[in-house]
Structure 1
Amino acid sequence: MLVYLKYATASLAAATLVSGQTYSECNPLKKTCPANVGTTESRHTFDFTKSSSLDQWTTTAGNVKIGPNGAEFTINKQGDAPTIRTDFHVFFGEVSVTMKSAPGTGIVSSVVLQSDDLDEIDWEAVGGDTTQVQTNYFGKGDTTTYDRATFEPVLTPQEVFHTYKVVWTKEATTWSVDGNVLRTLSSDNAQSGIRYPQTPMNVRIGIWAGGDPNNAEGTIQWAGGLTDYSKTPYTMYIKDVTIVNYNPAESYTWSDRTGSAESIKFTGSANSTSSTTSKPSVVGSLITASSTSRPSSSDSASRPNTPSSFPVFNAASNLSAGSLSFLSVLVLVSGLLFL
């Protein structure tokens, strides 16, 4: 009961923060934006034990080193938030990341898919929680409800490499760990598809201190408590990443401001060979995995250890080029919450 109350309380404070932290360089729902850079390759595999693996990624904050255990994302001091982002977008597909999340109270290790109109799919591991990780999603940046996040069992994510995978199609999204599907979201269960992620996304990987003392109390509670910087370094390791694009193209153009999958137009020829694990089928101008099963029941399956209310917090807002600039916003909002 105490943990339920903790997360319910945190949700109220964290919900206020989201509007200040959500980040998009140009939101196509509000104005005309440049086309998204795509990729004509169906599959990209990145071995992060090799320095060349970062060639198609941009470091948007901090420094990321390559070591024998893969890419190292390290917090050494207050304000550190090393983050990388793919130089290309995918339009439905798969993202698989082999990760050892960072230890440390308040330290958050994140793998995020996000689009320009703030569709989002997340994995988040909190450093002080050794038994579970969080899944989440957002549609069009909407944070008016608190029922999207789930906590899924994962043994010692800070000590063991696990493979975290998202399979994202027009019909459904699944989250799996080490080959075991833990959650399935049908598009119908995201406000009848209105708030289902369905626009081209890039991939963002990073680490940040949700428990920083300058953050709002709701954020600190959600992250598990205050971060102790005297115990740094805190390091997340990413061994490898595989990205499969179900709709390869040179670029994706937003033809209107609906934010629907059907409004996205392809530019350029696609690779003729598909590396998807299931045979694709053409649906209009989109390719989706035909073998993806649509769940017959609601995504909100019974999970005894899952809080009934969750702090609504967009991970991608902290995994962007502007992540450090939000510190002043956090300080301001934190003060307003407790006036």
Structure 2
Amino acid sequence: MGIKTHEMLPSASPEELKKILQSLASDWGDVIDDLDSLQVKPLTGAMTNEVFQINWSTKNGHLVRKVLVRVYGEGVDIFFNRDDEIRTFECMSRHGQGPRLLGRFADGRVEEFIHARTLSAADLRDPETSALIAAKMREFHNLVMPGPRNVLLWDRMRNWLGKAKSLCSLKDAKEFCLNTLEEELNLLEQELPQDHQEIGFCHNDLQYGNIMIDEETNMITIIDYEYASYNPVAYDLANHFCETVADYHSDTPHILDYSFYPGLEDRQRFIRLYLSSAGNQPSESEVDQLVYDAERYTLANHIFWGLWGLISAYINKIDFDYKEYARQRFQQYWLRKATLLNTNNDPLVQPK
């Protein structure tokens, strides 16, 4: 039985969406007479947008067409420029990466439905899957994308800090130490970058829900490029390591479990695979250096997503405890700061 699209997609324009889907169906030799004939399945786990799988039967009824509809979350343009994200999406498609863009409407878009499985939290801890992710990350970082190869990280966080200060109550501003974060960002920008650091095109949000695998070919596809930009590759590696502590499909999706954070040997293995994926054999010193750099960049990552969570608590209506998520990220920053910025420590320091 079909589900009424306008009931499932409250913020989308039914007429705009209908025209796009009718046009797509026509291109494929199908007919969509009305939206009630569509089957709509909400996809869980998204924390910025609402995502839906839309199905309809082919003209002869033997096959089912599938597309993915993404409805942009309210207020999320605070975090990124939507036009830049669409350009990235289209450029990635030209590179043979990710799904194709099939159509746009006022507050969302229609994408190709990828016939692959979205990873789970447990997949990130599977050695074979992790090795595939490491190689795909290296490929992603080596993409040549439009625009200057400038690090966006620090300007983006300062911009978000300004937004957080303008939105937050005095109570929240005090609890989350917003008045001292500018000083923390200045410190990190001074301490973390090194002369040897490599700049690449980074995804910046490589959680398991943004990684898909074709289980027949073992091909990995990285999706959702809202936050993608040039940044230090060590930062993107740090972000991925930090995402191993989250399970966004649990009963408490906002709770982070740092017992799942990869140990030193796991991080070394991942980075060795990452560096060797193009056929080069990295030296142990190269592996150790990138492990060290990535671990220090987790500090920037905690502030990045801490600010994101705090702002989202004020602007996003998705059922997720953004403020508690932010609280945990900031707690981890203050917990780890002294250890990771103390250069007298072993550079291969392992989180406790």
TM-score bracket, normalised by the shorter chain, equals: under 0.3
Higher strand proportion: 1
Rg larger for: 2
